[in-house]
Amino acid sequence: MIDIRRLWTQVETIHHEFGPRPPRPQRRGAIAAVLTNPYAGRYEPNLLPFMEALNPLGVELARALLAALRAQPHEIEGYGKGAIVGSAGELEHGACWHVPGGYGMRQVLGNTKAIVPSAKKVGAPGAKLDVPITHVNASYVRSHFDAVEVYVPGHPHADEIVFVLAMTTGPRVHERVGGLRASEIKGEDGLR
Amino acid sequence: MAADIRKLIVIVDETRKEMGRVVDPPARRALAIAVIANPYAGRYVEKLDELIDIGEELGGLLGAECVRALGIAPGQAESYGKAAIVGEAGELEHAAAILHPKLGAPLRRAVEKGAALVPSAKKMGGPGTAIDVPLGHKDAAYVRSHFDAIEARVADAPRANEIVVAVAVTASGRPLARVGGLQKNEIKGEDGLR
């Protein structure tokens, strides 16, 4: 059921955005897997088998992205996920990624507390998705609200789905709009 | 003068299946992109030496990033290409200064040999402008299976005073190449053409 056609991995190292350079550059990465959509072209009432089959892929992609970032799990401070469904599929097919993508990544990162924010859409080949990013242990940490734009040139075809995971190693490069600080979080409820 | 690099982006593209057929080994391509400040933005400067030196620096840096991202030995690189997008306060000649005089030599060291011309593209643009980086076999430009292109694009660059510089290196040709021509196992690799 899991048929990977293409993998696209991108890592940005952000040194500055016309302001003072932080001591460590922010690294922001995403991995996109282009899969055959097993439900393309028809209404399938039961999507649970696909969700279940995707579980190992969530773990595999999270590990591959960590490797591309050359980071240890504890160095990842922000994350997000997303899906782009080809035009012969439906938005709900993209929703199949919530559990395997989210829990797979949280497992690989050491059981992080915060919900993994997400975005999904139906799109044509080359469609761009802004994958939202929030802090891995406390969703309200303002410095870590971010997004990374992801697309795979030429995909998804009508019968494909692109599943995405994203991770960052720190806050926005010149974050300075206050709010809850990463140093102040309790990290119990996933929010603060 | 060293380049003021605002961000560096490295992409790996792996095609495992095409048209229902397994691509074995997978087709693998890497793209390394630097977003740099344009030292000549907003004015006409006759001699473009600073950008020429920046090109030399980036040829080595971006070439090495591609090889490292692919996880290959330098000699296993098969094709390459380069491109630049100049922000609107610059001029097209700024891309030429980066790409043509000095970028090639350190890139060739990063991929070993590189007898062939490094194919290139350039344009003016703004944030999110895409450019198709042309690809050709690094030792013999006529190898037909390796004519290709990979799209480079940075969502927030180039700003008006910036230049986006991209280098692509692959470990393979197109996924299911089958239109004949010179094969990679037939090349001499001496004149850069065949």
pLDDT tens-digit profile of A50-83?
Answer: 999 999 999 999 999 999 999 999 999 999 999 9
Q: What is the CATH number of the domain that holds A12?
A: 3.30.1330.110
CB contact under 8 A, B16 and A7: yes
**DSSP letter assigned to residue B6:** E
How close, in Å, is residue B49 to chain A by CA atoms? 24
A5 and B151 within 8 Å at the Cβ level: the answer is: no
Please tell me chain B's helix, strand, coil percentages from 3-state DSSP, rounded to the nearest 5: 25, 35, 40
Beta-carbon separation of A13 and B9 below 8 A: yes
Alpha-carbon B174 to chain mean position: 16
Say which of A5, A15, A153 has its CB closest to residue B16: A5
Establish if A191 belongs to a structural domain: no
pLDDT tens sequence for chain B (194 residues)? 589 999 999 999 999 999 999 999 999 999 999 999 999 999 999 999 999 999 999 999 999 999 999 999 999 999 999 999 999 999 999 999 999 999 999 999 999 999 999 999 999 999 999 999 999 999 999 999 999 999 999 999 999 999 999 999 999 999 999 999 999 999 998 889 99
> Under a CB-based contact definition with an 8 Å cutoff, are residues B122 and B51 in contact?
no
Can you give the residue range of the structural domain that contains A73? 4-184
Q: Is residue A134 in a domain?
A: yes
Any A CB within 8 A of B188 CB: no
Q: Helix H segments across chain B? A: 49-70, 92-99, 104-111
Task: Judge whether residue A17 has pLDDT over 60.
Answer: yes
Distance from CA of A18 to the nearest CA of B (A): 8
Distance of CA A162 to the CA centre of its chain: 11
Cβ distance of A7 and B14 shorter than 8 Å = yes
Structural domains of chain A, count: 1
Domain annotation for chain B: domains and CATH numbers: 5-186 (3.30.1330.110)
CB contact residues (below 8 A), chain B span 45-84, against chain A: 69
pLDDT tens across A105-155, in order?
Answer: 999 999 999 999 999 999 999 999 999 999 999 999 999 999 999 999 999
* Contact across the interface for B7 and A153, Cβ inside 8 Å: no
- CB-CB: which of A6, A13, A149 is closest to B8? A13
DSSP assignment of chain A: ---EEEEEEEEEEE--SSSPPPSS-EEEEEEEEEEE-TTTTS--S--HHHHHHHHHHHHHHHHHHHHHHT--GGG--EEEEEEEE-TTS-HHHHHTTHHHHHHHHHHHTTS--S---EEEEE--TT--EEEEEEESS-TTBGGG-EEEEE--TT---TTEEEEEEEEESSS-TT--S-SB-GGG---SSS--
B150 touches chain A (CB under 8 A): yes
In a domain, A117, yes or no: yes
Place of tokens 């980071």: A71
Q: Which amino acid belongs to residue B15?
A: T
User: What is the ipTM, given to two decimal places?
Assistant: 0.90
Residue A63 in any domain: the answer is: yes
Backbone angles phi, psi at B139, to 5 degrees: -115, -15
Instruction: Provide CB contacts within 8 A for A142, sequence distance 6+.
Output: A175, A177, A178, A179, A180
A149 and B7 within 8 Å at the Cβ level: the answer is no
| Chains A, B: CB pairs < 8 Å | 54
Angle at which helices A98-108 and A48-69 cross, to 10°:
40
How many Cα atoms are found within 13 Å in the side-chain-facing hemisphere of A44? 18
Cut 0.90: pTM above it: yes
Residues from chain A that touch B87, judged by Cβ atoms under 8 A, are none
Query: A64 in a domain, yes or no?
Result: yes
Q: Within a domain: residue A192?
A: no
Q: Would you say residue A190 lies in a domain?
A: no
